[in-house]
Amino acid sequence: MTGSGTQTHPRRLGWATLWCALAALAGCADDEISDLQAYVTEVKSRKQGRIEPLPEFHSIEPFTFEGSGRRDPFARAEAKEETSERPHPVAGPRPDLSRTKEDLEAYELDSLRMVGTIRLQGALWGLVKAADGTIYRVRPGNHMGRNYGRIQEITSDHIFLVELVSVNNGSWEERQAALDLNDSATPDAERKTR
């Protein structure tokens, strides 16, 4: 009998432990709930704030846009016809405004630097460094500078070009310019003899 009595004793001890644990948890729960109830009571007793009313909004009169007979702001502007007040330009050289501009035409000529040449497929190409540090490869016929400069000739130490400059009566005149390997752009007066 001693063997069976010892087996029931741990079982009774386990049940007793379980009941004690449940009682302790119930006591803790009561403490937490009473703390929570006290906090809720304290928050409810605080002075309540006042919410400002929304501001009044004034109605705005609707505007109806009548766009008939006006130019579409998103369409390309057409070239205006010359008026009789404006003098007619004399015959002479003109830039080709219909062609797509090349990358080096975004820079002033004096901001471009010739940094060397390279021979490709038997042709001599010039290497030009732009103000942003990008190096471009150019050959005769390419354009650069903001005055419609067209490259005429490339030598080992020069890039010769012709620019078209607008003059006051609406006509254009050609101006010789060059990029020197050692210096910046030089106008016709300072151009070295070839």
Look at residue 121 and tell me if it is in a domain. Answer: yes
39 and 114 belong to one structural domain? no
Q: Please, how many CA atoms are within 13 Å of residue 42, restricted to the half-sphere of its CB?
A: 6
Q: What global pTM score does this model have?
A: 0.49
Determine the 3-state secondary structure of 29 from DSSP.
Answer: helix
186: enclosing H helix or E strand = strand 185-187
Residue 95 lies in a domain: no
Does residue 33 lie in a domain region?
A: yes
Structural domain containing residue 140 = 103-190
Going from the C-alpha of 107 to that of each of 11, 127, 147, 160, the distances in angstroms are 96, 15, 10, 17
Q: Is residue 79 part of a domain?
A: no
Three-class SS state of 172: strand
Q: What is the pLDDT of residues 105-155, one digit of tens each?
A: 999 998 999 999 999 988 899 999 998 999 999 999 999 998 999 999 999
pLDDT, tens digit, 9 for 90 and up, residues 23-51: 666 665 556 678 888 888 888 888 888 88
In a domain, 114, yes or no: yes
Quote the DSSP letter at residue 170: S
CATH of the domain at 179: 2.30.30.830
